[in-house]
Amino acid sequence: DGGITQSPKYLFRKEGQNVTLSCEQNLNHDAMYWYRQDPGQGLRLIYYSQIVNDFQKGDIAEGYSVSREKKESFPLTVTSAQKNPTAFYLCASSINRHNSPLHFGNGTRLTVT
């Protein structure tokens, strides 16, 4: 079955460590996205990529980095510069078409202590 796989589901890290969240899709979608969700907040866009080897900052990119070396993969690194990294992270993909919905993975819950 086609879909988006995020791993791991739960991730725990010590403050000051970088951590990389995995996102893989086999839907053959060109565009991929990373969103962050905090309690009481909607989804906020961190980074997005519309084609391989290209990506753009979203609304809250500070303290995060991404790469898009393959169409199927869009890993997100949460760096030690991110002041409040504990959150629920959602990866999504879509066709580059305006009426195309985003397809989401099941998310990674990151806890930094």
Question: Which residues in this chain contact another protein in the complex, by CB under 8 A?
Answer: 31, 33, 35, 40-45, 48, 50, 58, 88, 90, 92, 94, 96-104, 106-107, 109
- Comparison of 17 and 62: residue with beta carbon closer to another protein: 62
Candidates 21, 19, 39; CA nearest to 112 is: 19
- Comparison of 20 and 41: residue with beta carbon closer to another protein: 41
> Residue 63 CB: number of other CB atoms within 10 A?
15
- End-to-end Cα, the chain, rounded Å: 36
- Comparison of 14 and 97: residue with beta carbon closer to another protein: 97
